[in-house]
Structure 1
Amino acid sequence: MAPLPGKLNPCMPYWIRDQEGRLVRIETPRATELEIILEVMENQPEDQHSQHGQGNDPNLYRSMRDRMHPPRMSAPSCIIPPTEQLIIRPHIVPLLPTFHGMESENPYAHIKEFEDVCNTFQEGGTAIELMRLKLFPFTLKDKAKIWLNSLRPRSIRTWTELQADFLKKFFPTHRTNGLKRQISNFSARENEKFYECWERYMEAINACPHHGFDTWLLVSYFYDGMSSSMKQILETMCGGDFMSKNPEEAMDFLSYVSEVSRGWDEPQQEKWGRGQFSKCQEGGCTV
């Protein structure tokens, strides 16, 4: 067989006539070889040790010494940066209260004091919620700061969320139950004055605002925990009709007796009780 006349391209197929005179297509070995070579070159993975195509990844050029040292960056904050701009004046931060995460610290008291400071420095056009969200991390120290940095990055969007997570961490269930027991099992101490007893009881209530007790239960717990002399003073001042008051009136009356008794000493209390008891029985005492 002889190829058709004309100039042949080594990379292209060509036609020849067989013995019977029919045209037959011949694929050149060189063309097939070139196709295989090109396909292999296109699919060949890049050598991981070569520097070709690695200009966009600076970590590939870091030495062993560089890799042994920490990078110059910090972990992302758990607080999502707000879109609004807020300028924090330098004189505000030193005035903020601090919280270290100790068992003796009261998280509720810290939040209240922090919010009072924020309300003082609120400026026109500045959202108070945004100010609290930005300033609160400056108040946390030691264990409290470590806790804040351990939160999942970009997980907090609002001041309400940050406050809830803070109280969940530093006011756990066992602490709530302990304070609730202090309220329900409250009792006066020996030789304790009425106003001292009442102030200590109110401190226990304020230390656990989420105690869940109704007002009538709070009055009952305090009344049951009073000494006999305190109950005598209380009943004397209200004409022996304390339990007839509604819960809110009873709380107000206890607070009133506490303020009045602040200026008494023990001998005066006994003298007042003996001298005024008959008057209160006749017409009662008005508060």
Structure 2
Amino acid sequence: MANDTRTIRHLRARNYDEQPLCIAYPPMGANANFELKEFFIHNLSKFYGHAGNDPNHHLSEFHMMCEGAVPNGVTEDQFKLRAFPFSLQDAAKDWLFYFPSNSIATWKDMKATFLEKFYPDSRHNHAKKAITTVEQEVDETLYDYWERFKQLVAQCPYHGLSGDDLLVNFCQALTQQDQRLVNASTGGGVDNYSVADSNDIIERLASSTRNYGRKQDGGSMNFSSVGASFSPTQKLENDVSHLKQFVASLVNKNQDGGGGQGPQIECGFCQGPHPIETCPIMIEEGIEVENVSAMGHGNYNSRNPSRGGY
């Protein structure tokens, strides 16, 4: 310090050569040179840091985008560390600038730091508990339950459960009806097969129930094509019965005298037993319905003197 002749102003001057970004990019080789294409950046999935965003899903999508885009001679760290900031938006992008400069040097560091922020232990434990305590709903088909279970597993990729543990959790929470179905298809249970074969069997069984609606209280399922728990023959018979009732109600409504249930249809022009639109006299004389509404009551009533015409 005694030999340092720099002024205090010089010592306190800002060092603009420091790297403000937290990422320390790995050095590129002598012959390695690339740029991130605008098309690639535009099509990256975006993560906003909101409560509803799934960070694991975002990382999976980002990995898929990078798989076919890494140029020859460029490492995964070199490419992903440069591309990942462009996938962050709003609060997630602001978060990236809070770290000290050069604190992230590898893609593994970036991934771990990202998950520690947006997928903390509390969220991880909650997702893992959802897998181990899952149950099939009473009115839930095997297909819907299987798809929901797979979604829970995908949302918690670091659950630490083996394949047989997942199968046991899934099968133990089946309804009695679907447990019998799975046991009958596997000769007594999934224990008789490998994990991969058991997954294939359940996948096929679940797909076979995809065309059915939600279960009813009695265990029957709705046909998706008719929307009711009837066979096609029963459905046709019901439709015919309803059609008969509908026609009968129309006939009763349009009949008069003898205890009819509704008023007789009466033409507003000639008072005949037919709608005004089909009046034969109007059709013969070329009179339109709109013109009748503008005529005086006496004019069209004169054709029926018994009703007060002149």
Category of TM-score, reference length = shorter chain: 0.5 to 0.7
User: Do the aligned partners of 2:19 and 2:102 also contact (CA within 8 Å) in 1?
Assistant: no
1:25 is matched with which residue?
none
Residue 196 of structure 1 is matched in structure 2 by: 144
Q: 1:86 aligns with which of 20, 26, 34?
A: 34
Match of 2:206 in 1: 258
CA distance in 2, matches of 1:145, 1:180: 28
1:148 aligns with 2:96: yes
Which ranges of structure 2 fall in alignment gaps of 5 or more residues?
214-220, 224-228, 231-310
Match of 1:123 in 2: 71
**Which residue is 1:210 aligned to?**
158
User: Deviation at 1:264?
Assistant: 4.5
- The letter of the residue matching 1:165 is T
CA contact (8 A) 1:129 1:159 kept: yes
**Structure 1: segments with no counterpart, 5+ residues:** 1-42, 47-52, 61-69, 272-287
Matches within 5 A, 1:61-76: 76=20
Q: Which residue of 1 aligns with 2:82?
A: 134
- What SS does the corresponding residue of 1:165 show, helix, strand or coil? helix
Q: Which residue of 1 aligns with 2:57?
A: 109
Matching residue's letter, 2:85: P
Q: Which of these residues, 160, 164, 167, is aligned with residue 115 of structure 2?
A: 167
The TM-score, its normalising length taken from structure 2, stands at 0.60
Do the aligned partners of residues 100 and 71 (structure 1) sit closer, same or farther apart at CA in structure 2, a change above 3 Å counting? farther
Residue aligning to 1:220: 168
Which residue of the other structure, out of 166, 173, 177, is the alignment partner of 1:229?
177
CA contact (8 A) 1:101 1:170 kept: yes
Aligned partners of 2:181, 2:125: CA distance in 1, in Å?
32
How far, CA to CA, are the matches of 1:223 and 1:168 in structure 2?
32
**Cα RMSD for the two superposed structures:** 3.3
Identical residues among aligned pairs (%): 25
Letter in 2 for 1:94: H
Counterpart in the other structure of 1:23: none
Q: CA deviation at 1:55?
A: 12
Partner of 1:240: 188
TM-score, normalization by structure 1: 0.64
Give the conservation status (yes or no) of the 8 Å contact 1:119–1:128.
no
Structure 1 residue 115: Cα displacement: 1.4
1:99 aligned onto 2:43:
no
Distance in structure 1 (CA, Å) of the matches to 2:129 and 2:113? 24
Cα displacement (A) at 1:162: 0.7
Change in CA separation of 1:156 and 1:203 when aligned onto 2, cut-off 3 Å: same
Secondary structure at 1:150's aligned position in 2?
coil
